[in-house]
Amino acid sequence: MLYYQLMTNIFHLLLVEDEPQTVQMIRFYLEREGFSMTTAADGPSGEAAFGRQTPQLVILDIMLPGFDGLELCRRIRQQSAVPILMLTARAEDTDKAIGLGIGADDYLTKPFSPTEFIARIKALLRRAYRYNEPPRPTTLGGPRLQIDPARRRATLDGRLLELTPIEFDLLNLLMANPGWAFTRSHLLEKVWGYSDEAGEETVTAHISNLRRKLGSNGAELIRTVRGVGYAYQEDA
């Protein structure tokens, strides 16, 4: 099923991309790897975010409003040697961008697979920082509800919760992405590994079991986001 290798958020990444779906996908996979992220949707705000955040890696889409990813890459290169991965819409754009010699470290043509994307990111980090994926067990959650993905333990107010493997995976996915609303079909696909309209009832049933095990605060910890699905949220 799902096993997340979570690390502390040692690496902070900046993504400059204006397509919400690509942003959402990249965010999902990078956060699942334990990276923290800032996003910007156009050239100028990407440049501003770079100045504010000093990220350890930058992902730039070429086609951006304001000024494009090539220009942003040039500007960042004038002040920093940070690893830069460029995203391009077509293979010809990649060739063109390489030809311009603007100093990006790697290029990826859309559409790309999450596996390839993550592999490229890790390769860039390894080269630049001798990044070496330390499998550090980390506890996720807030003051009340906590989960230890490596040991597959969840506690509420210090009390161990008796969860089925599916309930654990479901909670793990939600808690690895606090505040992020997942649709039923997304949860079904990620936790159960298939998509099917009828299967969404299964998700509803498991969420309700999970909430029951979380007691009186169940519906507060796993919130219903109207018209979307469910999100884990715990106020610190």
Mapping DSSP to helix (H, G, I), strand (E, B) and coil, where does residue 92 land? Answer: helix
| Residue given tokens 């909430």 in the structure block | 211
Contacts of 57 (CB under 8 A, 6+ apart): 11, 13, 14, 82, 83, 84, 85, 121, 124, 125, 128
Q: Which is nearer to Ca ion, 63 or 150 (CB)?
A: 63
Q: Which is nearer to Ca ion, 18 or 31 (CB)?
A: 18
Residue 61 in the binding site for Ca ion (CB under 5 A) = yes
Residue 41 in the binding site for Ca ion (CB under 5 A) = no
- Binder to Ca ion among 18, 31, 33, 169 (CB under 5 A)? 18
Contacts of 101 (CB under 8 A, 6+ apart): none
- Using left for φ > 0, alpha for ψ between -120 and 50, and beta otherwise, residue 109 falls in beta
Interface with Ca ion by CB under 5 A: which range of 61-69, 105-113, 130-138, 169-177?
61-69
Q: Which is nearer to Ca ion, 61 or 105 (CB)?
A: 61
CA distance 80 to 146: 38
Residue 63 in the binding site for Ca ion (CB under 5 A) = yes
Residue 93 in the binding site for Ca ion (CB under 5 A) = no
Shortest Å, Cβ 23 to Ca ion: 10
The residues that touch Ca ion, with contacts defined as CB under 5 A, are 18, 61, 63
